[in-house]
Structure 1
Amino acid sequence: MVVDTVIYHPTLTKLITYLNTTAGREKTLRLVQYLVRFLSFHAAQRGLPDLARLFKSLQGNATFIRKALRFLKPLNHLQDAAKAYDNKLTDSVIRSTVVLKNLAYVGYLSLDSVAWFKLLGLTSPKTLPKAPKWANWFWFIGLVAGLTNDLRKIAITSSKLKSIASEEDAEKEISAEQKSLLAESAKTHKRLVWDSLDFFIVLNNLGFLHFDEGAIGLAGTFTSIFGVQDIWANTKV
């Protein structure tokens, strides 16, 4: 039957599995949050205040729900930092930047929870008034570590690819390794673009750049798509 074909289609099954994860829902909401931020700005620019307010309301709701979904997520990053620190076999720069990035995200997400408590009315709006700014500084530190990590991985992968290319009479034996390195290189370059766009956002949040809401929303939309793609690719059915 047609209905059975749709209901049991592998793509639909994968979508259900994806949305059944906290990470899947959170990244989808992030996409909504930044997309409507972009649309709200352009609706206002085109003289559509009601539509702009609707998009702004959607942005606020998506942000609020995301904060709830990320509650206690600092524990994940704390564990990831510990695992990276214990891994003595990896490159020292990569190891150090992974530890620093995860510790920075512990601070960032912990302060983000403070903002959520304020929205819930559990704490006074006057509690830690500089928490949003501190959170963005932690995000900034995490992204600097992430960008350093990306560049280091690109350098290592490029060195390995050059070494393989210089080998003689071993093309068949190394083709699989070369393919794997090229895939890793593409993945790392994508991560570099991803972190760079997020870095653009945080620089605006901290006042180092002064781009409009449309540009920030567009950058966030692209990084959110990257996040959704990552989780979708790792969703097993």
Structure 2
Amino acid sequence: MASIASQVVFHPVVSQSLRVGNTTLGRDKTYRAVQYFARFVAWYLLSKGKTVDAARWNALKSHLALARKLLRLGKPVEHLQLALKAAMAAAPPAEQMSTIARQLAYFGYLSFDALVWASNIKFLTLTPETAQKIARISNRFWLAGIIVSLTHGAIKTARLTKEAKSLKAQHMSEKDFGEAQALAQQVVAIEAARVAAREQIYIDALDVWLPASALGLANMSEGFLGIAGFLTSIMALRKSWATAGASSK
């Protein structure tokens, strides 16, 4: 019995799950997945007229949203650091500028989001109009960040596609075995970067409807928004899972 228990407790999947959960990003994306799943379930139950059951899921969604705001209190500074690093790094101008703009937009989004959290927990006393205005500013920064991220992803994907084609052509014509192997490795690295850039585009293409709907710029149902947020959370969690798996090797 003890042997079976140890096999379960020390199973690699359990260990990797703990490594993901030990990171702020891992916890945030896990909470986010449950939050948006709860949003979808609440919408579904309301559509069936089950208001009591829907209220439980709505409460779960609201509490997780509040908890995630607390987890993200230090994130604005992190995005400022990332913007500064991008400014100092060598990169194509368009990609560099879009990276800086994206990080600054997320800095603004999370800074105002922290004020929303402080208002929600009654730490700050704001009028309903002021609180609503701050929430709208936060969502505008969020929307701007996603739009810039989509632009960045498109520019980067186009560049990587062009580079991959060029390297593949060089690889096909290269007669030296060592040079051919080096080119092949470069192609693999570029393809991996291109896949990552495309995946971020998919995430942004779904997430963009969340702030757009909050601002009244789109009229998506709560069910669609719940599923969209859930899917992008799972996609982000998969990245954290892969990172945790690589760090254990």
Query: Under a length normalisation based on structure 2, what TM-score does the superposition of the two structures give?
Result: 0.90
Figure out how many residues of one structure are paired with residues of the other and give that number.
Answer: 236
Structure 1 stretch displaced more, 132-141 or 175-184: 175-184
Aligned: 1:190 with 2:199: yes
Aligned: 1:9 with 2:18: no
3-state DSSP of counterpart to 2:218: coil
Counterpart pick for 1:144 among 143, 147, 153: 147
Aligned residue number for residue 73 of structure 1? 75
String of CA shifts for 1:126-178, please: whole Å, max 9, x gaps: 14440110001101111121011101111111101221232343384332222
**CA distance in structure 1 between the partners assigned to 2:118 and 2:148 by the alignment:** 28
Aligned residue number for residue 173 of structure 2? 169
**CA distance in structure 2 between the partners assigned to 1:106 and 1:184 by the alignment:** 25
3-state DSSP of counterpart to 1:210: coil
The amino acid of 2:64's aligned partner reads A
Shift of the alpha carbon at 1:218?
1.0
**CA distance in structure 1 between the partners assigned to 2:104 and 2:95 by the alignment:** 14
Structure 1 stretch displaced more, 135-144 or 198-207: 198-207
Counterpart pick for 2:60 among 58, 61, 70: 58
Counterpart pick for 1:23 among 25, 40, 47: 25
3-state DSSP of counterpart to 1:123: coil
**CA distance in structure 2 between the partners assigned to 1:165 and 1:25 by the alignment:** 40
The amino acid of 2:197's aligned partner reads T
Shift of the alpha carbon at 1:226?
1.3
Aligned: 1:155 with 2:126: no
User: Matches of residues 32-51 of structure 1 in structure 2 within 5 Å?
Assistant: 32-51=34-53
Aligned: 1:90 with 2:83: no
String of CA shifts for 1:13-38, please: whole Å, max 9, x gaps: 11112111211111111111111101
Aligned residue number for residue 232 of structure 1? 241
Check conservation: 2:116, 2:131, Cα contact below 8 A. no
Structure 1 stretch displaced more, 121-130 or 99-108: 121-130
String of CA shifts for 1:99-147, please: whole Å, max 9, x gaps: 1111111110011111111121111131444011000110111112101
Identity of aligned residues (%): 29
Aligned residue number for residue 134 of structure 2? 131
3-state DSSP of counterpart to 2:199: helix
Aligned residue number for residue 209 of structure 2? 200
3-state DSSP of counterpart to 2:208: helix
Task: Give structure 1 regions of 4+ aligned residues with deviation exceeding 4 angstroms.
Answer: none
3-state DSSP of counterpart to 2:173: coil
Q: CA RMSD in A?
A: 1.4
**CA distance in structure 2 between the partners assigned to 1:221 and 1:57 by the alignment:** 17
Check conservation: 2:119, 2:131, Cα contact below 8 A. no
Check conservation: 2:39, 2:61, Cα contact below 8 A. yes
Aligned residue number for residue 218 of structure 1? 227
Structure 1 stretch displaced more, 91-100 or 161-170: 161-170
Shift of the alpha carbon at 1:187?
1.4
**CA distance in structure 2 between the partners assigned to 1:109 and 1:72 by the alignment:** 9
